[in-house]
Structure 1
Amino acid sequence: MRLLTRSNLISTLVLLMALVISGLYIYDQVSEEVRDEIDEELQNRKLEILASLPASGYPENSTLKADFRINPISPSEYKKLKEHYEDIEVYELVETEIEPHRQLVTKFEHQGKYYQLQIETSLLDLEDMGEVITRSTAWVCLGLVLLAFIVNLLLQKRLWRSFYQTLEQLKNFRVDHQDHLLLPQSSIYEFQELTQTVSTLVEVNRKSYQQQKQFVENASHEIQTPLAIALNQTEQLIQNPDLKEEDALTIGLLTEQLERLSALNKALLLITKINNQQFGEQESVEVNPMVIRLINEYEFLAEDKQLDIQVKDEQSIIVQANEYLIEILVRNLIRNAYLHTPESGFIKVQLSTNKLEIRNSAKAIAGKTEDLFDRFTKQSTHRQSLGLGLSIVKSICDAYGYQPKISSDHEEFMISIQF
């Protein structure tokens, strides 16, 4: 949920609750005030009735205005009776329905006799009044909520415009590009702070990236060059006809370790470049012909180990990526399958909807299969395995958002890439 939507929703709910509570409070206060006014009128009517009692004889009930009743009571009832108010319901001829009334029940003594006086008057229909208040409050709530929502939406969009412009700039920002961020200016202090912080952070990251890139390039040159020279010298030494057999074995071992060190250096530098996003160029890459070509390149291994190779080219896979990195990804997967498949085993390659899947016969993997994506993790003791092939595959997948998956059982090993 967007920030503006959430803030509008919260403020709307708070306003709605405040209006509902206000409506209930108004209803309670109005009801109390109405009852107080009616009770006061009943007291005034009581004084009028008592003042109009005849000097002699029995007091009579009203004939023209039937709003009170006088009933004789016994002395004991007179003592027990306390003046009080009560709500009653009376059938109204005009309304043709039962309406609420307010009644005062009191007592008086006249010429040595005791009487009960009941005075009633129509009570404003609090139920109808509640409906009116509720309906009015509902319309007011709706109007205020709509007004507040529109005002907040327009106002907040204007206030947050610079924030969203900054966010859009950051979405398109590439640390490997030299394009400068055109961050918007704002009169709001917090957004000024945000712009300044983002600008500083971008420059620090760009500088760090350039330094890292320079280091990788220097390391690639400074390390690979002496390795190449050392390999060249060992090759010349091993061609010396006067070389003893023991020295030849030592030089052969040295050559093998130098080649391994050279391959390890290239692999680590490649992972660093991938993580630093130094392969920014992208194009449409067809994966299917690349897979077929690389399978044919390793055909000699299939013949030596008598492997059964099966390829199912079901659907063309085209991705937007750096072609060099995609070739490295596919090559590592195929090379991994050829190297780790036992003799007379099988390799099954399937190309389906945006998915490359490779299965090969292999022993069960000990531990978590996801650990094979970690650097220097390997199950094989093969001398050509550096434990970095799948780590490179994982780095390329992370760079482009692909989903690699590994599974293993007692008979086969499977790795798939969902492009």
Structure 2
Amino acid sequence: MKLLTKTTLYFLLIMLPVFTAGAFYLYAKFNTEIKYETDEELVNDKLQWMRYLDTASVNNPVFSIKTPEFNLHPTTNPVQSKHNLKGVNIYQEPENTYAPFRQLTQVIRVNNKNYELVLRKSLIEKDDLVNNIIHVMLVAFGGLLLFVLLSNWLISKSVWKPFYRSLDKIQQLQLNKLESIVFEHTATLEFNRLNTALSAMTTRIHGDYTSMKELTEDAAHEMQTPLAIAQSKLELLLQDDTLSETQQNSILAGYDELQRLSRLNHNLLLLAKIENQQYPVTEQPDLCTVVEKYLLLFEELIKEKELHIHKEITATAPWPLHPALTDILVSNLLGNAIKYNYPQGNISIRLTSDTFTISNTSHLPEIPANVLFQRFKKHNNGYTNSNGLGLAIVKKMADSYHFHLTYYYTNGQHTFKITL
């Protein structure tokens, strides 16, 4: 969830209860005030009627007046010093409904007789007024809430713009293309501090990466010469007939290790060049031709193991890859399929214009996902005599040239699939 959305939701969760409580409070306050005003009107009407009845010039009359809003009738109840106020519902014949009234009752004495005085005030109009006011206030509250939310969202979006611009710059960075980044100066102190820290961090990373890259390349190049000299010297020693068999075996073992070290050095240099994008795609070599070429090159190994090759190859399959990397891709995958296969095993090759799949049988178990494409990790579980750089190089190609590389193991078959 975006920070702006999260902030807005939190703000909404806080404001909704506040606005709801405010609406209930105002409704209760209006209701109380209207009842209070109505009660005052009833008391005032009572006083007016009592003054009128006290001045009546009728000799011992027995009053009995009855209307929805005024009722005066004789009673035997004692005189009350204080009136009683309450809310009642009275039937309205024309509308056939009950309407709310405020009612004042008090037993008074008129011309030496006790009467119960009942005064009522209709609350229909006042309730309508309250409802109208509440509706208006709810609309006003709703509009105010929307306005506050929209204003908060627009202001927050404007305030956070520099942050998102800096984030976009960081997300677009590539280690092998890292250049000096200039972050804009903003009016917000915290964003300026963040941009300063990011600028210093990227500069430091760029420096470290450049130093490591130069060290790797220089070391790889410098190692090639002494390795070649050491190999040539050992080859000369192997041609010396005066050496004993033990000495020759020791020299041969050292020669084999030097060759392995030379291959390792070459592969590490190759990985560094792929990471540095030193193999631009200037043409699209035909992968079908490359596959057929390496099937011929590995023909002796295939015959030695009596492997069965199953091919499903299209006529042409131009792939956006450097020719040198195309050779390395096919030789690594096909070489592994032959190397780790068992005698009379199967190798299936399927090639289309956008997919390249190689499957091979093997007695070896499934390669664990956590070490599948890691360097120097293939010496366990039977994957001996390997530094683990073959699949790491293929994976680096896929990442650098935006291919999709997948591996799966089913029914004793290891399958690698590359999709454009």
TM-score normalised by L of structure 1: 0.82
The DSSP-based 3-state class of the residue aligned with 1:31 is helix
Deviation string 1:349-400 (CA, Å, 9 cap, x unpaired) is 2235844322111125167455343433246757653333233334444555
Distance 2:357 2:172 in 1: 33
> Corresponding residue for 1:335?
335
> Corresponding residue for 1:288?
287
> After alignment, is 149-158 or 225-234 more displaced?
149-158
Question: Structure 1: which 5+ residue stretches go unaligned?
Answer: none
Distance 2:114 2:317 in 1: 107
**Shift of residue 282, structure 1, vs aligned partner:** 4.5
The DSSP-based 3-state class of the residue aligned with 1:176 is helix
List structure 1 runs of 4+ shifted beyond 6 angstroms. 315-319
> After alignment, is 2-11 or 341-350 more displaced?
2-11
Distance 1:153 1:370 in 2: 43
> 1:244 aligned to 2:247?
no
Distance 1:239 1:409 in 2: 49
**Shift of residue 343, structure 1, vs aligned partner:** 1.6
> Corresponding residue for 2:407?
406
Residue 255 of structure 1 aligns to which amino acid in structure 2? Y
> Corresponding residue for 1:25?
25
Residues matched between the structures, number? 413
The DSSP-based 3-state class of the residue aligned with 1:343 is coil
> Corresponding residue for 2:60?
57
> Corresponding residue for 2:197?
197
The DSSP-based 3-state class of the residue aligned with 2:261 is helix
> Corresponding residue for 1:168?
168
> 1:105 aligned to 2:108?
no
Q: What percent identity do the matched residue pairs reach?
A: 27
CA RMSD of aligned residues (A): 3.6
Deviation string 1:124-169 (CA, Å, 9 cap, x unpaired) is 4565345424532343245435544554455444433333332333
Deviation string 1:190-221 (CA, Å, 9 cap, x unpaired) is 22112211211111011001111111012212
Alpha carbons 2:180, 2:202 under 8 Å: kept: no
The DSSP-based 3-state class of the residue aligned with 1:416 is strand
> Corresponding residue for 1:254?
254
Residue 418 of structure 2 aligns to which amino acid in structure 1? I
Question: Structure 2: which 5+ residue stretches go unaligned?
Answer: none
The 5 Å alignment of 1:262-281 reads 262-271=262-271, 277-279=275-277
Distance 2:137 2:316 in 1: 64
Alpha carbons 1:372, 1:378 under 8 Å: kept: no
Distance 1:288 1:203 in 2: 40
| 1:309–1:363 Cα change, 3 Å | same
| 1:366–1:187 Cα change, 3 Å | closer
> After alignment, is 12-21 or 47-56 more displaced?
12-21
| 1:252–1:342 Cα change, 3 Å | same
Distance 2:359 2:205 in 1: 41
Residue 357 of structure 1 aligns to which amino acid in structure 2? T
Distance 2:62 2:218 in 1: 121
Deviation string 1:251-305 (CA, Å, 9 cap, x unpaired) is 111111111222233334545665xx32265537567334444444323321222
| 1:96–1:324 Cα change, 3 Å | farther
